[in-house]
Structure 1
Amino acid sequence: MRGTSGFSHRIFIGAAAAALVLSGMARADAAPVADHDTAVGVGMICNTSQQAERFVALRAQGSAPDKAMAAVNDEAKDPHACGLAAIAFMRDATLDSKPVADKLVQVVRINVVAGFNGSGWQPVSGLVQYAVMEGEGETI
């Protein structure tokens, strides 16, 4: 989340980190969201689709969420390339899907409209990120 003048540092909150560690894969929202509806949630977001896809690939290979996030950030040479955030967003497009621990996980391009900085919501405009979300999928 480059170019947001410190915004990315403030939206990464302790509750988000706890959610990732406890769930193994944080969900960006609790219910299915139609494209272009605004949703609020806590979850893993990355600056690029490649970073999000790498995070999912590492998780699919058995890496713990915190280890996968650290590996992606190390590879990107950016400690904030991927991280947890509490955000309001609009879903744009699903880019990839992969099974992780018997769940379908998707990489979704999102438009962030606000972020929670620990004490309140801060509006954002024009910020595209890539979220890692549990997908709905079909049961066969």
Structure 2
Amino acid sequence: MKYLCGMILSGLALIGAATMSPAAAETNDPSPQFISGLICDTREQAERFVLVLRDNVEKALVTVNTEAGTPNACMVATYGFVPGQTVSEVERNGAIVNVVEVRVMAVATSGGLQMIEPKVYYSVVPTSDRIA
């Protein structure tokens, strides 16, 4: 479980680096970046995930998905994405977590990576910002 939580947080940090990359913003490079991490159907679900996350990613996913009424509203997946903008900030334990748009263009399946019709999902990015 700690491995999964660490993997998600590492992946989320990579999304953060990608969304803040000046080079990517200047070139408008539509090439997807690949990551294993959280994606949610809505901004509100991603915000809720941050609020209910403790040390147990699976419990947080079950909580959000139960509240949403669908088993895959939020999930951990390996996917190719193009980062979008930050859409909100959530305070968690005195730190700020950004909720960001990710335009998913490919997903990992048992048969390998599969391109999909691009769709906007939401993920979260821990920041180094703290609330005083």
Q: Shorter-chain TM-score: what band?
A: 0.7 to 0.9
Separation in 1, partners of 2:116, 2:7:
27
Aligned residue in 2 for 1:54 = 48
Q: Which runs of 5+ in 1 are unaligned?
A: 1-16
- 1:1-140 correspondence runs (5 A): 20-23=4-7, 25=9, 27-28=11-12, 30=14, 32-33=17-18, 34=21, 35=25, 36-37=28-29, 38-59=32-53, 62=54, 64-100=56-92, 104-135=96-127, 137=129
Of 64-73 and 117-126, deviating more is 117-126
The answer on whether the counterparts of 1:19 and 1:26 sit within 8 Å (CA) in structure 2 is no
Q: Which runs of 5+ in 2 are unaligned?
A: none
TM-score, normalised by the number of residues in structure 2:
0.74
Secondary structure at 1:57's aligned position in 2? helix
- Alignment-mate amino acid for residue 53 of structure 1: E
Q: CA deviation at 1:46?
A: 0.5
Q: CA deviation at 1:126?
A: 2.8
Of 101-110 and 37-46, deviating more is 101-110
Task: Note closer, same or farther for the CA distance 1:23–1:87 as it changes in structure 2 (3 Å cut).
Answer: closer
Task: Note closer, same or farther for the CA distance 1:115–1:28 as it changes in structure 2 (3 Å cut).
Answer: farther
Aligned length: 121
Percent same amino acid among aligned pairs? 28
1:43-87 per-residue CA deviation (whole Å, 9 max, x = no partner) reads: 01001111111001112xx36221111100000110010000101
Task: Note closer, same or farther for the CA distance 1:43–1:19 as it changes in structure 2 (3 Å cut).
Answer: farther
Task: Note closer, same or farther for the CA distance 1:118–1:133 as it changes in structure 2 (3 Å cut).
Answer: farther
TM-score, normalised by the number of residues in structure 1:
0.70
Task: Note closer, same or farther for the CA distance 1:123–1:136 as it changes in structure 2 (3 Å cut).
Answer: farther
Separation in 1, partners of 2:96, 2:127:
5
Answer 1 or 2: which has greater strand percent. 2
Secondary structure at 2:117's aligned position in 1? strand
